[in-house]
Chains A and B, each alone.
Chain A
């Protein structure tokens, strides 16, 4: 079974600085998808970024980028120029896609942003 591990339960970053959130996963598959979701205090889950395993290029969405290391099964999220609105829980998730639509989520990391 696939597992997703987020080993850091909490992190803190100074406003305008850069922070990296770690995620590792375990799978025997070669084709899959990885996601980072954000859950702010409102508890509404929001997709931050998505990475296809067959793509070597790391995904980027504005201030958010990933470092995808397929061989190491590592998928970290980098937040640049951190803003107060980035304070939230962040979940890493794994999915096979296609006919298997389930996602497996990590336990999440709480990010706080210091003004």
Chain B
């Protein structure tokens, strides 16, 4: 089955530690995205990548880092510099440049809690 997987579903971290969230897709999509979801805030874009080995900051990139070494993988690292990391994190992917609308497909999300 084609889709997007995120792991783990729940993640706990001690304050001051870095943690990496996994996102993998087998849809052969070029573009991938990371969003943060907080109550009442909707989805806010952290980072996105439209091609391997290239990525851009979104609206709230401070305290986060990403890499895009493979087309199917786009891991997100939440660093100790992120002041309020407890949130629900969503990964998405979309075709890029090949069709007009670039509909995004989402993974099931990871709930990160900082203790």
**Which residues of A does B touch, CB under 8 Å?**
6, 9, 33, 35, 42-47, 50, 52, 91, 95, 97-99, 101-103, 105-108
Q: Closest approach, in angstroms, between the C-beta of A99 and any C-beta of chain B?
A: 6
A91 with B50: in contact, given A45-B90, A103-B104 (CB under 8 Å)?
A: no
Tell me, yes or no, whether B97 is within 8 Å of chain A by CB: yes
Please indicate the chain B residues that have their CB under 8 angstroms from the CB of A102 in the complex. Answer: 33, 45, 48, 58
Q: Which of B43, B88, B99 contacts A91 (CB 8 A)?
A: B43
Smallest Cβ-Cβ distance to B48: which chain A residue = A102
Complex CA gap A21/B11 in Å reads 34
- Interchain pairs with CB closer than 8 A, number: 58
Please indicate the chain A residues that have their CB under 8 angstroms from the CB of B101 in the complex. Answer: 33, 50, 52, 95, 97
Within 8 A of A (CB), among B49-88: 50, 58, 88
User: Are A108 and B42 in contact, with the CB atoms below 8 A?
Assistant: yes
User: Are A95 and B102 in contact, with the CB atoms below 8 A?
Assistant: yes
Please indicate the chain A residues that have their CB under 8 angstroms from the CB of B109 in the complex. Answer: 43-44
User: Are B31 and A101 in contact, with the CB atoms below 8 A?
Assistant: yes
Tell me, yes or no, whether B2 is within 8 Å of chain A by CB: no
A101 with B102: in contact, given A9-B40, A45-B90, A107-B42 (CB under 8 Å)?
A: yes
User: Are B42 and A97 in contact, with the CB atoms below 8 A?
Assistant: no
Report 10 cross-chain contacts, Cβ distance below 8 Å, ordered by A residue.
A33-B101, A45-B90, A47-B105, A91-B42, A95-B101, A97-B102, A99-B96, A101-B50, A101-B97, A105-B42
Complex CA gap A111/B94 in Å reads 27
When each residue 94-112 of chain B gets 1 if its CB lies under 8 Å from chain A and 0 otherwise, what string results? Answer: 1011011111111011000
Please provide the 10 A-B residue pairs with the shortest distance between their CB atoms, ordered closest to farther: A45-B106, A107-B42, A105-B43, A101-B102, A33-B101, A101-B31, A97-B100, A105-B42, A97-B102, A101-B96
Complex CA gap A46/B90 in Å reads 12
Smallest Cβ-Cβ distance to A96: which chain B residue = B102
Smallest Cβ-Cβ distance to A42: which chain B residue = B108
Complex CA gap A35/B48 in Å reads 19
Please indicate the chain B residues that have their CB under 8 angstroms from the CB of A97 in the complex. Answer: 99-102
Please indicate the chain B residues that have their CB under 8 angstroms from the CB of A50 in the complex. Answer: 101, 103
